[in-house]
Structure 1
Amino acid sequence: MVDPTDFPEPTLIPVNGVELEVFEAGRHNAGNPIVLCHGWPELAFSWRHQVPALAAAGYHVIAPNQRGYGNSSRPTEVADYDIEHLSGDLVALLDHYGYEDATFVGHDWGAFVVWGLTLLHPDRVNKVINLSLPYQERGEKPWIEVMEDVLGGDFYFVHFNRQPGVADAVFDDNTFQFLRNIYRKDLPPAEPQPGMALINLARAGTPPGEPIMSDSELGVFVSAFESSGFTGGVNWYRNLDRNWRLLADVDPIIQRPALMIYGERDVIARSERLAEFVPNVEVASLDCGHWIQQEKPEETTQMILGWLERQGSANPVSTRSSQDA
């Protein structure tokens, strides 16, 4: 467990028309930038186990609360959370620090953003490390439409899009219960549930499985979401079909070296065709569920550091300017 007071103090940085709350470790002028991108419903704090180890290994660690989260900006327009805006925030963050490119690490929705960033701005990414969510093939039909056809209107991706505001309000009204209940490991086998399972989870009095964090760590998430609400993060889901359209004309093949880490008991399916779209990928897995870097912190950290060492370090002078932190 990590004492929340040991996590770096944040800085609010203006980028791409918004402000991001950014947590840093390591020396800027040492180069080797690595950007850690959280998922939903997470924060930069979800990387608390990896940040000090990466900094100690010589990396300039940059962990933003992405737009919609924590004390970062929360635009009111749904379209302001599409992949162009989210990837644009990260490009602008590199510009702020004067970096040409960086290694990007993503978990869950953060992985989706990192894959999308690499498609839209390949020159700004030197390596990709993603956890849980593999590259998503675009296919011939928008993603939400496919999910609705296959999984029905109660599947949470579909529900978020077709019934805007409903789930957000339930999460806001049950913030502590929802986060306590979702951040679990060693879960019992899933059973069919009526309605949207996440709404049921937010209202459940008895949490499933075992907690993945201490009460003080959970308190960081609860405090942040009590302040920000959940709508900003849920709006990422509401742009999935818009993202499908925005990615229509980009080269779908990612050529950058990539590490894909799966949780063997994660509910998110593996990609059987990952290497077709990410030919320079190395695939690994850990015996855990969805919250990989929090469930298996030491193993995740060593897997990331070992892969980075095998790849060779990023160019320490890959900067756009000589500004120092």
Structure 2
Amino acid sequence: MDSFRRDGMVFDVRDGGPPEGEPVVLLHGFPQDSTAWTAVESRLHTAGMRTLAPDQRGYSPGARPTGRSSYRLRELTGDVLALLDEAGLDRAHVVGHDWGGIVAWALAARHPDRVRTLTVLSVPHPAAMAQSMVTSDQALRSYYMALFQAPFLPERLLLAAGGEPLRRALRRGGLPSVACDRYVARMREPGALTAALAWYRALPWDARDRVGTVQVPTLHLWSTGDTFLGRAATESTRRFVAGPYRLEVLEGVSHWIPELAPERTAELVTEHVRS
């Protein structure tokens, strides 16, 4: 596969590895795209797995609907279900990072029959995240989410001077320059950054549509160098997983786990899938 369709939209997808291998869906975060998983993919392929890494809604040029309601979690999870359907897969192992992790949490909670195992990098369960906003320093860490609610201004600020402010912010967060340049180029495509920010702007729509308890086997990776997501929500996440749960802490790694710790990530995912 190199694409799949839903509701008239066309999503790009990277399909690699042995066609008959265990299927692993890889969901990227903001402001990344499917190439965030390149180094992880190659290692999973060597381990005999098939990977499906889509450019998600707003990131695929053929799937950039307007309006923040188009980026609610029910739509984002629906896109992953459409990928599984078009690939002819009843179930798959699902791995998500950052916003892709939030989609993965919701998919596993709401459609456990489609998720064989769940692996989430960086982000806690949404309910744990909500609690941590009032019981820890998480609200301070997440200040940018409130700023992103403003219309037009974030786009103008981040893409000024050819996207240099966005590039600098990603570099300060520890992301390699090559990856920064690649993601900034994507965000400079017509409508791309507005679509990516719509994921944040849709949060008020999802406030009453809570993500429930996860029943499937879950692996949670968090890194001590993550300036965006603190330990409090990470530690309380296990309360929202009723199935087997394991937390792995990566010391000294920043938020960008797929790019900065691909070998360890692939090792842990492989172990989790095989278990």
Using the size of structure 2 for normalisation, the TM-score is 0.87
- Structure 1 residue 224 and structure 2 residue 186: aligned? yes
The answer (yes or no) to whether the contact 1:183–1:291 under 8 Å persists in 2 is no
Partner of 2:72: 82
Q: 1:31, CA displacement in angstroms?
A: 4.4
- For the pair shown, the structure with the greater C-alpha radius of gyration is 1
2-structure distance, mates of 1:116, 1:176: 31
- Structure 1 residue 286 and structure 2 residue 273: aligned? no
Of 221-230 and 233-242, more deviation after overlay is shown by 221-230
Q: 1:273, CA displacement in angstroms?
A: 2.0
- Structure 1 residue 238 and structure 2 residue 201: aligned? yes
- 1:159-196 Cα deviation digits (max 9, x unpaired): 222x2221122223345423432333xxxxxxxxxxxx
* Cα distance, 1:16–1:102 mapped onto 2, change above 3 Å: farther
The answer (yes or no) to whether the contact 1:16–1:89 under 8 Å persists in 2 is no
SS in 2 for 1:49: helix
1-structure distance, mates of 2:220, 2:62: 28
Partner of 1:298: 263
Which AA in structure 1 matches 2:78? G
Q: Which residue of the other structure, out of 141, 160, 169, is the alignment partner of 2:148?
A: 160
Q: 1:300, CA displacement in angstroms?
A: 1.9
- Structure 1 residue 212 and structure 2 residue 175: aligned? yes
1-structure distance, mates of 2:28, 2:114: 19
SS in 1 for 2:159: helix
2-structure distance, mates of 1:115, 1:136: 8
Partner of 2:23: 33
* Cα distance, 1:300–1:175 mapped onto 2, change above 3 Å: farther
SS in 2 for 1:46: helix
RMSD: 2.5
- Structure 1 residue 23 and structure 2 residue 14: aligned? yes
The answer (yes or no) to whether the contact 1:259–1:307 under 8 Å persists in 2 is yes
Partner of 1:191: none
Identity over aligned pairs, percent: 31
- 1:49-83 Cα deviation digits (max 9, x unpaired): 11111122221100001011143411012100000
How many residue pairs match? The answer is 265
- 1:194-231 Cα deviation digits (max 9, x unpaired): xxxxxxxxxxxxxx47x53253x443223222214311
Partner of 2:237: 274
Structure 2 gap ranges (5+): none
1-structure distance, mates of 2:6, 2:32: 21
2-structure distance, mates of 1:23, 1:116: 22
